[in-house]
Amino acid sequence: MTLTPEEQLAETVRVQGARVLATLIRTLGSLQLAEDAVQDAVVAALQTWPRDGIPDDPRAWLTVTARHKAYDALRREAARPGKELAATAGAALVAPDLAPEVLEMVEPESVVRDDQLRLIFTCCHPALAREAQVALALRTLAGLDAGAIARGFLVPEATMAKRLVRARQKIAQARIPYRVPGDAELPGRLASVLAVVHLIATESHAPSAGDQVTRVDLEAEAVRLARLVNELMPGEPEVLSLLALLLFTAARRPARADAAGDPVPLAGQDRSVWDHAAIAEASGLLAEAVRRSGGVAGPYQLQAHLSACHAVAPTYAATDWDRIVGLYDLLLRLAANPAVALNRAVAVGERDGPAAGLAALDAITAMARSHLWHAARAEALRRLGDTGQAREALRQAVELAPTAPERRLLSRRLDEMPPP
């Protein structure tokens, strides 16, 4: 996909703005103040860059501009009677050093990276609700605005804006720290970070409504965040595994939708258009995760192995279904999950035939409201020759499908089903 010059410019502003924000939060001690300043600088960039061209060092331009904006805001606040700032922005606010040379100083890349890692852990702090963690990560680390995040989560923009305001208030008032946790807390805190990144990725390739088959930007952001965490915490097996999992999934992107934008199921995908460079990179990362995990596979490693099975299979039929069923069994042992049980049942059907698959599907009781469960049952019933029941299952799947492309796909299958 090629970006137009306007999109290129907007992308640069967004990505660099997010990096500037991480550093500004540390120097200002206030998320709200830093966000407002960066927002002002982003607006200034979008006004002047199209006219004057993108500066040689966009981050430096945004850093200095944002710092001046923050300085102006602080001066205005200080001039106001009662100094309400301390109450509104939280007690964590530290007076910034206002010397002119400090305003013009631009931090080296290494400092920006450390600041972003701190910010990741702040956004994913367990004292924040998971939905707030995800929203904050996308707002502050990916630089997406409240409207874009709201569309991603299918909530009204005002709801998302309110969610972000509440999260910022909690960070300021409860003083959620801006630092990388110590060794003792790290495993638990890292799990929270990985869950947030994974959620962003799953939302990107399985949007629960709307007309897009793939939300390219969110998937790319999730990969970028996973890369960042992997770069800053090298050798963590679950970080390596999550990055591998995201790359395996992203590699299938070119085959996931047809020309009309409708989803193409794995069985029907053209494997020659998969991104084989990404698959090779993911395989290398997964191998390293296996080496470093000492024989104990975490949930992301198991999921990465599952993705790897599909990535290396020459065809859908030639997939190693036995290994896939075994991996799902291990995943289910870590945590009961109806969606995992559904995928396992589909794999059982491929390995042992449609009757065994249908029995495994019918054993899952929690999925009666899922279009995926009805669609899987329809496929098993069709293979068993029971087209009457298969049609009925497909009709329910169409009714429950949350997005228009999925409805179209299932309706087409219903049309193609031979009459009973």
* Piece of the chain touching another protein by CB under 8 A; list 86-94, 141-149, 208-216, 299-307: 86-94
Cβ proximity of 38 and 55 under 8 Å:
no
Residue 105 φ then ψ, to 5°: -75, 135
Question: What percent of the chain is helix, strand and coil (3-state, nearest 5)?
Answer: 70, 0, 30
Q: Is 187 in the site for another protein (CB under 8 A)?
A: no
Residue (179 or 276) nearer to another protein, CB: 179
Phi, psi of 190 (to 5 degrees): -65, -40
Place of tokens 């981050």: 59
Does position 329 interact with another protein (CB under 8 A)? The reply is no
Q: Taking CB under 8 A as the rule, does residue 94 contact another protein?
A: no
CB of 149 to another protein, least distance (A): 24
Contact 309, 340 (CB under 8 A): no
| Cβ at position 67, least distance to another protein in Å | 24
Shortest spacing between CB 329 and another protein, in angstroms: 35
- The crossing angle, in degrees rounded to 10, of helices 5-28 and 58-79 is 50
Backbone angles phi, psi at 257, to 5 degrees: -130, 150
DSSP string, 285-351: HHHHHHHHTTT---HHHHHHHHHHHHHH-SSSTTS-HHHHHHHHHHHHHH---HHHHHHHHHHHHHH
User: Which region among 52-60, 176-184, 195-203, 224-232 touches another protein (by CB under 8 A)?
Assistant: 176-184
- 145-174 residues in contact with another protein (CB under 8 A) are 173-174
* Paired tokens of 58: 């966009």
For residues 257 and 215, is the Cβ–Cβ distance under 8 A? no
Q: Looking at 86, 277, 280, 366, which residue binds another protein (CB under 8 A)?
A: 86
Structure tokens at 384: 């068993």
Closest CB to another protein among residues 75, 175: 175
Q: Is 175 in the site for another protein (CB under 8 A)?
A: yes
Kindly state the smallest distance separating residue 88's Cβ from another protein, in Å: 9
78, 87, 94, 273: residue in contact with another protein (rule CB under 8 A): 87
**Rounded to an integer, what distance in angstroms lies between the CA atom of residue 160 and that of residue 297?**
36
Binders of another protein among residues 188 to 227 (CB under 8 A) are none
Provide, rounded to whole angstroms, the least separation between the CB of residue 77 and another protein: 14
Q: Does 177 engage in binding with another protein (CB under 8 A)?
A: yes
Residue of 185, 231, 329, 399 that binds another protein (CB under 8 A): 185
Contact 308, 286 (CB under 8 A): yes
> Which of 3, 102, 111, 127 forms a contact with another protein (CB under 8 A)?
127
Tell me if 215 sits within 8 A of 203, measured CB to CB: yes
Q: Among 26, 131, 181, 224, indicate the residue that binds another protein (CB under 8 A).
A: 181
- Three-state DSSP at 263 gives strand
The minimum distance between CB 25 and another protein, in angstroms, equals 14
Question: Binders of another protein: how many residues, by CB under 8 A?
Answer: 13
- The correct pick among 9, 74, 176, 409 for binding another protein (CB under 8 A) is 176
Query: Binding marks (x or -) toward another protein, 250..269, rule CB under 8 A?
Result: --------------------
Nearer to another protein, 43 or 127 (CB): 127
DSSP 3: P
Q: How wide is the angle at C-alpha 304 spanned by C-alphas 241 and 202, nearest 5°?
A: 90
Q: Could you list the residues that contact another protein (CB under 8 A)?
A: 83, 86-87, 91, 125, 127, 173-177, 181, 185
